[in-house]
A and B are shown apart, each in its own frame.
Chain A
Amino acid sequence: GQQLNQSPQSMFIQEGEDVSMNCTSSSIFNTWLWYKQDPGEGPVLLIALYKAGELTSNGRLTAQFGTTRKDSFLNISASIPSDVGIYFCAGQARDYGGSQGNLIFGKGTKLSVKP
């Protein structure tokens, strides 16, 4: 089945540094989503991308839908302590019937920020 490779697995950074993480796939997606999950809570949607090449920002977060439709990255600028958490990418493709398929999740990037 489809799989997403998300890297890095974890990051330890200093407050104020920029962060970059990415997801790659062997197959094409038509939607890329980035979520953040805090301990004991459900994932919260950060950015949704619907078009190859699309670059979208949400405050200090920027994400891009790769032109090959097989990858996406998320950047966080000037990190702050509350950025700590696990970030998941998720891809979605249409199934054979043309309907939206299920979300395929990456394994997550655990971000730790040192004040």
Chain B
Amino acid sequence: GAVVSQHPSRVICKSGTSVKIECRSLDFQATTMFWYRQFPKQSLMLMATSNEGSKATYEQGVEKDKFLINHASLTLSTLTVTSAHPEDSSFYICSARQGWGNQPQHFGDGTRLSIL
């Protein structure tokens, strides 16, 4: 149980393109979904937290107009990197948590984004 699917797994696109990444909880309802960014050989950095039907809460330093997050249902959240540039190239990982208590976060397999 507790499977989180992230799509696509890899994206290579030109500078200026907008890229959408999907995160789905397959076998549970995700009250909260999280988006992380991971640079090579580093730990995960939280970008934003989103609850279903609410606006996302962004961490300090993360541009909300650059990284658009939509959490329209209890099983789907999307991250859109708008007008992506090479410095946006990174490994983006989503996670999902069921309920409001102590349930752990379960992670997707990540999306490798490369902007040329």
Residues A108 and B43 in contact, CB atoms below 8 Å apart: yes
Among candidates B2, B44, B106, residue contacting A105 with C-beta atoms closer than 8 Å: B44
How many A-B contacts if CB must be within 8 Å? Answer: 50
Pick from B13-21, B62-70, B72-80, B107-115 the stretch touching chain A.
B107-115
Question: A27 → chain B, closest Cβ, in Å?
Answer: 17
Contact indicator A103/B100 (Cβ below 8 Å)? no
Q: Is the CB of A41 within 8 A of B110?
A: yes
Q: Does A99 sit within 8 A of B, measured CB to CB?
A: yes
Task: Judge if B54 is at the interface, Cβ distance under 8 Å.
Answer: no
Q: Which of B37-72 contact A (CB under 8 A)?
A: 42-44, 46, 49
Contact of A102 with B49 in the complex, beta carbons under 8 Å: yes
Is there a chain A Cβ closer than 8 Å to B86's Cβ?
A: no
B102 touches A42 (CB 8 A): no
The answer, among A31, A41, A44, for a CB contact under 8 Å with B102, is A31
Residue of B nearest to A51 (CB): B102
Contact indicator B43/A42 (Cβ below 8 Å): no
Within the complex, the shortest CB–CB distance from A93 to chain B, in Å, comes to 11
Asked if A45 meets B43 with Cβ closer than 8 Å, knowing A100-B100, A100-B101, the reply is no
Contacts of B43 in A (CB 8 A): 88, 105-108
Asked if B25 is an interface residue, CB under 8 A from chain A, the answer is no
Question: B102 → chain A, closest Cβ, in Å?
Answer: 5
How distant is A81 from chain B, measured CB to nearest CB, in Å?
21
CB distance from A86 to the nearest CB of B (A): 9
A99 to chain B, nearest CB (A): 7
Q: Verify if A53 is at the interface (C-beta below 8 Å from B).
A: no
Q: Determine whether the beta carbon of B44 is less than 8 Å from that of A40.
A: no
Are A100 and B44 in contact, CB atoms less than 8 angstroms apart?
no
For residue B89, CB closer than 8 A to chain A, the reply is: no
Nearest-Cβ distance from residue B49 to partner chain A, whole angstroms: 7
| Min C-beta distance of B11 to chain A, whole Å | 14
- 8 residue pairs, one from A and one from B, having the closest CB atoms: A42-B107, A105-B43, A42-B110, A42-B109, A48-B104, A43-B107, A42-B93, A107-B43
